[in-house]
A = this chain, B = another copy of it.
Amino acid sequence: MDSEGSQTQHPYVPQDLHLPGFVPGVISESHIVGVYVFASVIVISLTWIGSGRVVTKLSRSDRLLMCWWAFTGVTHIIIEGYFVFSPGFFKDKTACYLSEVWKEYSKGDSRYAARDSGIIAVEGITAVLEGPLSLLTVYAIATRASYSYILQIAISLGQLYGTAVYYITSILEGDNFAMSPYYYYSYYVFANSFWVWIPTLIVIRGWKKICAAFQVQVQKRSKKR
């Protein structure tokens, strides 16, 4: 592929990225994306069915939110957790699905293969803190816990902060980590966009609910007087 010897042969941009022992991915893109979509549909379907059997009847939006939190929680823990704790995924020879995912995603952002410290920091916080807390949120919504909205806002703000750091650091470093415009827009822009607009909507919704709860509290106090 290039003249620098077999050790650094990889498809990623920038081409001078040093990845000794790189082993090319063998699973096709459609296979990788297909398995992820299929597994996600199962997680979402099971959550939807389960949420319909909760004793206290839940609203449609609460049930949809439970599906989101189950999906994002599982993604954070399994997919992103694997990345954080597998520094040598690009050397994997076993065609393990999770290392193939990150070999594929690195085509849209080579900083993953390069183990950029900003990426690891953000993914570490996401996988270790936000992942388990997302699953806790599924339980919190089902039980109508008093901390449900504030927990949803806390995780969503974390997702938004992480995505902001993700994009800002890339722009500051030249925004040139994708193999082609196709990978740039499909992986780097489109795939991440779900963790921008969904958390934004959840923060707005929770914010309104919390403000309304305080207005109720104030009304109650003024009635007492």
Q: A162 — nearest CB in chain B belongs to which residue?
A: B161
Q: Report whether over half of chain A's contact residues are helix, strand or loop; otherwise say mixed.
A: helix
Say which residue of B118, B120, B157, B212 sits within 8 Å of A121 (CB atoms).
B118
Question: What is the minimal beta-carbon distance from A131 to any residue of chain B, in angstroms?
Answer: 15
Q: Which of A172-225 contact B (CB under 8 A)?
A: 172-173, 206-207, 210-218, 220
| Size class of the contact patch on chain A | 35 or more
12 contacts between A and B (CB under 8 A): A118-B118, A120-B169, A121-B165, A146-B210, A146-B211, A149-B214, A150-B150, A153-B153, A216-B216, A216-B220, A217-B217, A220-B220
Residues of A with Cβ closer than 8 Å to B? 117-118, 120-122, 124-125, 146-150, 153-154, 157-158, 161-162, 164-165, 168-169, 172-173, 206-207, 210-218, 220
